[in-house]
Chains A and B, each alone.
Chain A
Amino acid sequence: MKIKRNAERCHGCRSCEIMCSFHHHGCISPAASSISIKRENATGRVFWSVDATCDLCKGEKEPWCERFCAYGALKVAR
C-alpha cells in the first residue's frame, strides 16, 4: 500500500475524499473519490479504504489527499 493512514490522527472529516474527487474530475464528489472514509457513529470508529482508481495523483505536485488532510493523518509514498 502506497498510502498510509494514521488511525489515531484521523478525525473522519473526509477532506481527503473531496480533494481526491477534485483531482480526478475537477469537481467535488465523495462517491467519485479513490479513497473512502466511513464513520461508525455508534462507536466513533473511522474506517477507510483506497481503491484501484488511485493514481497517486499523477500530474499533481503533491497528492491532494495528503496535502488537504489537516490532521497529518495521511502519507502517500510515490
Chain B
Amino acid sequence: MRADDIKGGLAGRILRVDLSTGEIRSDATAPYASQWIGGRAINSRILLDEMRPETRWSDPENLLIFGAGALTGIAPGGSRTSVDTKNVFSGGKGSANVGGHFGPELRYAGYDHLVVSGRADAPVYLWISNDRVEIRDARFLWGKTTYETEALLHDALGDDMVRVACIGPAGERQVLGSLILVDRAKAAGGSGVGCVMGSKNLKAVAVRGTGRLGIARPDAFTDAMATAMRKVKESPTTVPMQEKTLSGVAYVDPHNPSWDLLFVARNGQDDYWEIEKRKQLMNPATGAPRFRRKVLACFNCPAGCMPFSEIDEGAYKGVSGEGFWVNTIMSATMLDIADPEAMITAWLLMNELGLDGDFAAGMSAWAYECFEKGLLTEKDTDGLALRWGNGDALVGLVRKIAYREGVGDLLARGPVEAARQLGGGSDYFAINVKGQPSIEPFRIPKGWGLGVATSPVAGRHLRGSLLGSGRFGPRGSVFEPQTYEDKPGYVFWQALTKEIEDITGICIYVGTWSGAHALEVSDYAALLNGVMGTDVSEAELMRLGKRSRALEKTFNGLHTDMGREDDLPPRRYREEPVKSGPYKGERCEPEKWGRMLDAFYEIQGLDSEGRLRRATLDALDMADEAEKLAEAGKLAE
C-alpha cells in the first residue's frame, strides 16, 4: 500500500517529545501506516529502528511509545492504546495494552502516536491540547497517587474532560512492575511500562482533543458498523457481560469448568482452588459481585465489562472504584485469599498507587511462600503475617511494595533479583517468565501455558493463550485444554488475531478472544476498508500479524540473548504435578512440552532454538530485519 492510498481514519501525526532537550515535533503517520496500519506494529517499527541494543530500560535513550490503534476512536471496541518500550524484566520488547478513553482523545487531538524520549531533570507532565503541546512542571503532582493526579490535573487545566494517563508512587520509585493508569482504572500493566515512565521523570500525559477523524467510504463504513453491531448483539455472552461483567458471569458459579482450568493456588503449590473459597470470593449475595454498583464501558465499546464497586460495610467501608477483573481472581487464588472486601481493596489500591496487579500478586505470593518456609518472618515484614489467605496482610504489603518500604523494597526489585538477595532456594518458587512474575496457569491448559511461555513480551496471557471449549480460540472450536498435540496451531492463530487487534485498537473481548467474542478478522478488514478507503483482505491482515510478531522477535534477537530455555514454563510447573482436583497429576511434561514447542516454532518459521529463519523473514518482505539479525549472529540461515 502507498501512503496516499490511505484516505481516512488517521489523525495524521506522530508526536515526538524529547524530555532531555525539550524539543517537540511531529511527523506524518501515513508512511508508517501504509506499511504497518497502526497501533502496536508502528510502535514496534519505531522501537526497532530507533533504539540501539545496548540501551537499557533506565537510559534516557529508551523510548516510551503510546500508539492508538488505526480504528481507535472509531470502531466498536476501538478503545485501545498500545504502550511499548524496552521491557524492564527481559531487556527485550516491552508492551502493554490499555483501553479507556485516552487513546481516542489522543487521536482527536491529532496524534496517532506519541513517542517520548530522554529524561527530564525534574518531574514533568505533558499537556496536549490539539496543536498545543507543552512540557509542564509536575512538582505539584510528584508523590501523589494516580487518583489524586487525575483530580489535580482536572483542576489545574480547568477541564474535567481531559484524559489522563499517569504513574503513581510506585512508578516514581521505579518499582519494576509499575503500571500506567488511564481514566483512574484501566491499566497498561505489563513489562514495567510505568517504571520506564518514572525513570523519565514523566508523571502524566494529559490530553484533550476536539478534532475529527475522516471516513473514506461512508457507506462501506456504515455497513461494517451495522454488521459489527449485529454480531455483538447476537453473541449470547454480550448481555450477561454488560450486566454482570466477565468475572461476574463465569465465576459466580463455583462449578463453572473454568474454575478448574485457570487458577493457580498458593503460588503454584497447586492448580486447584477449593469450592468453598470460590463461593466465599464470588457468590452474588456476599462475595465480590455484591459490591458492584455499576458496569462501565471503554470508549465506543458495545460489550462494556468494567465493574465499579463500593464497599458499604466492614473494615474496608468507604473503598470504591472501578476494577475487578478475572486477573483479580487469579491474584486471589495465588494468595489463597477468599475475602472479597480485602481483595477488592487490594486491587483498587494497586491501581491507586500505580502497581501492576499481576506483578504485585506474583511478588506477594512469593513473599507468602517465603513466610511459610521461614525465609521471611514478621520481623522482616514489620508485623505483617503473610499467611495464605490473609487479605489484610496483602493490603499492607501492596502499600509497602509501592513505596519500597521494608520488605517492599526487596519485592520491588522483581522475582530474579529478590530471590537472589534472599537466597534459601527461593528462586525455585519465584515464578516468572523471562523475569516477569507470572500468575498464569501452565500445568492444565497447555495452550494457555504455551502462549504465556513464548510471548515475546515476557509472559502474560494475551499473546495466544486459550482454553478451548468455545470460550477462547476460533469460534466454534472445541478442544481438550490439557492435551499438547493440537495447541500450536490454535495458539498461533490466537496470537495473530491479537496482533491485528493491537494494530486496529479493538478490544479482544469484543474481538476474537473471549467475552462477547463477536468480531473476527474479516470484520476488522471491512471496518478498516470503510474507514481508510483501502482494500485489505483478511489474509493480508493475517500476514500483517505475522510481520508484526516478527518485528518483536527481531527486537528480542537484537536486544537480548533469550532463547529456547526462556520459552519454557517455570521450573516448578515442569517438576511438580497438580496435587488435587479433577486435573490432579497434570504437569508440563518436559518431553511432550518440548515437542509442542518444536511444532510451535515450526509453524512460525523459527528454528529449534526459537530464532527467526532467513526464509521466514524473506517471505514476509523483511529482508532488512534478516540482515540485521545475521550481522548480530542471531539469524537461522
Which residues of A does B touch, CB under 8 Å?
A: 11-15, 18-19, 21-22, 25-32, 38-44, 46, 67-68, 70-71
Contact = CB atoms under 8 A, between A and B. Distances in A.
A68 B225 contact: yes
Contacts of B160: 38, 40
Interface of B: 73-74, 76, 101, 104, 108, 147, 150-151, 160-161, 183-185, 209-215, 218, 225, 229, 232-233, 238, 242, 293-304, 308, 320, 322
Nearest to A31: B210
Contacts of A14: 101, 299-300
B304 A41 contact: no
Contacts of B232: 70
- Residue from B73, B151, B299 having most chain A Cβ neighbours under 10 A: B299
Contacts of B320: 43-44
B308 A44 contact: yes
A31 to B, nearest CB: 4
B297 A13 contact: yes
A27 B297 contact: no
Contact of B108 (A12, A22, A29): A29
Contacts of B303: 70
A18 B293 contact: no
A11 B296 contact: yes
A15 B232 CA distance: 14
B215 A18 contact: no
A38 B295 CA distance: 15
A27 B161 contact: no
Q: Which 7 A-B pairs have the closest CB atoms?
A: A70-B302, A44-B308, A13-B297, A31-B210, A11-B297, A11-B304, A29-B212
A8 to B, nearest CB: 9
Contact of A71 (B151, B242, B299): B242
Contacts of A31: 108, 209-211
A42 B183 CA distance: 9
B151, B210, B297, B302 — which one has the most chain A CB atoms within 10 A of its CB?
B297
B301 A13 contact: yes
Contacts of A38: 160-161
A67 to B, nearest CB: 8
Contacts of B73: 18, 28
Contacts of A19: 225
B211 A29 contact: yes
B308 A13 contact: no
